[in-house]
Amino acid sequence: MIPKLYNRIRKAGRCLTGLSVMAWLLVSCSYIPESERLIPVLPASVNRNVLIEDFTGQRCMNCPTASDIIEGLVREYGEETVVPVAIHSGPLGFVTNERFKGLKTVTGDEYFARWESDHQPVGMIDRKGLTDYPVWGAKVYEELQKPSTVDIAVSAHVTDSGLDVAADVTSLDGEVNGRLQLWVVEDSVTAFQMMPDGTRKDDYVHRHVFRAAVNGTWGEDISVRKGETVSRRHEGFILDDEWNKGRMYVVAFVYDESGVLQVVRKNLSH
């Protein structure tokens, strides 16, 4: 029966995919000349992801509670969908000294100063303004309901000369004029943390720790027309020897004045 169907299809000048033989009796498609078959199309569907920037500090007693809120959101939606970054900074951040490991960075302080917060913990959901952790769940849900206008594909490879990062940005809806930001993040860093009960926990495990910006504090300009893809490459970024490369990943996001348009994370490959 199937060979007969193929003969009938060819005679009728119809096109058929390998899995649609039986469906041909119900649905068929017109013949497309070979010269017209390689027409580029946009991705059929791109999931919306959400960036959480958590301005935290090792001397901040309420910051572990904010971290717990974040981990709950990651469990609920998945680590590819909710992308948190813990930016150790501000007056409650801590710099390494002879006794204790610190996670505060100069770049993190620049971000903290830019958003002019007067307390910690505090954060931003897709850069829609500073908010406190009790409303982060609602803000994340709100952002997830929005369509994604940008697709980002990232590769991150560790070589003998450093970290090579490539990002391909595709516009899905209109022209994009914003900035591409590439961050290096390390997960599960053990260092002291002040706890809500006022005690110090020396073996606290810090999640999603911001380490460095690959392409500058504020990223780089990027302009992409609808349906087009723009690529950016950065090679030989030096990773600190004390960082655990096996627990590191790159966070890439595109943002403009309205906030973050899309964010993705990519583990380092060796």
The half-sphere exposure of 192 on its side-chain side, counting CA atoms within 13 A, is 16
Give domain status of residue 105, yes or no.
Answer: yes
Percentage above 90 pLDDT, the chain: 81
Tell me which of 14 and 189 has the higher pLDDT. 189
The residue written with tokens 């290096």 in the block is 184
Q: Mark whether 126 and 30 lie in a shared domain.
A: no
Does residue 28 sit in the same domain as residue 121?
A: no
- Let me know if residue 191 belongs to a domain: yes
Taking 70 as the threshold, does the pLDDT of residue 39 lie above it?
no
- 263-205-90-114 Cα dihedral, nearest 10 degrees: 0
State whether residue 239 is helix, strand or coil: coil
pLDDT tens across 152-191, in order? 999 999 999 899 999 999 999 899 999 999 999 999 999 9
**Cβ pair 214, 158 in contact under 8 A:** no
**Beta strand segments in 16-74, E:** 29-30, 50-56
Q: Which residues pair with 156 in a beta bridge?
A: 165
pLDDT of residue 49: 98
Is residue 176 in some structural domain?
yes
Is the model's pLDDT at 109 over the cut of 70? yes
* The pLDDT of residue 77: 96
**Using 50, 70 and 90 to split pLDDT, how confident is the model at 141?**
very high
The answer to whether residue 12 sits within a structural domain is yes
DSSP E strands, the chain: 14-15, 29-30, 50-56, 82-88, 122-125, 130-131, 150-159, 162-171, 176-186, 189-190, 193-194, 200-201, 205-206, 209-213, 220-224, 229-237, 248-256, 259-267
Q: Is the pLDDT of residue 225 over 60?
A: yes
- The range of the structural domain enclosing residue 122 comes to 50-267
Task: Give helix then strand counts, H and E, for the chain.
Answer: 4, 18
240 and 184 housed in the same domain: yes
- Does residue 247 share a domain with residue 208? yes
Confidence of residue 205 (pLDDT cuts 50, 70, 90): very high
CA 137, 139, 143 angle in degrees (round to 5)? 120
Nearest to 110 by CA among 128, 93, 129: 93
Q: Are residues 32 and 55 in the same domain?
A: no
Confidence band, pLDDT 50/70/90 cuts, at residue 37: very low
- Which has more pLDDT, 239 or 23? 239
DSSP strands (E only) in 90-145 = 122-125, 130-131
Q: Do 83 and 132 fall into the same domain?
A: yes
- Weakest mean pLDDT among 33-47, 187-201, 239-253: 33-47
pLDDT at 26 over 80: no
Q: Is the pLDDT of residue 21 over 60?
A: no
Instruction: Give the pLDDT of residue 9.
Output: 36
* 141 within domain boundaries: yes
Give the mean pLDDT of the chain. Answer: 87
Number of domains comprising the chain: 2
Residue 262 lies in a domain: yes
In angstroms, the CA 61 to CA 14 distance is 69
Same domain, 23 and 68: no
Whether residues 185 and 154 share a domain: the answer is yes
Please check the confidence at residue 247 and state whether its pLDDT lies above 80. yes
Residue 150 contacts residue 254 (beta carbons within 8 Å):
yes
On whether both 98 and 156 belong to a single domain, the answer is yes
Same domain assignment for residues 26 and 66 = no
In a domain, 43, yes or no: no
248 forms beta bridges with: 186
| Confidence at residue 270, expressed as pLDDT on a 0 to 100 scale | 77
The arithmetic mean of pLDDT across residues 219-241, rounded, is 97
**Confidence category of residue 17, pLDDT binned at 50, 70, 90:** very low
pLDDT digits 0-9 by tens, 44-76: 456 899 999 999 999 999 999 999 999 999 999
Query: Minimal CA–CA distance to 156: which of 99, 115, 214, 112?
Result: 214
What three-state secondary structure class fits 133? helix
Residues 96-116: what's their mean pLDDT? Answer: 96
* Domain CATH for 81: 2.60.40.10
Tell me, yes or no, whether 41 lies in a domain.
Answer: no
User: Are 6 and 119 found together in one domain?
Assistant: no
Same domain membership, residue 54 and residue 31: no
What is the pLDDT, as a whole number, of residue 3? 43
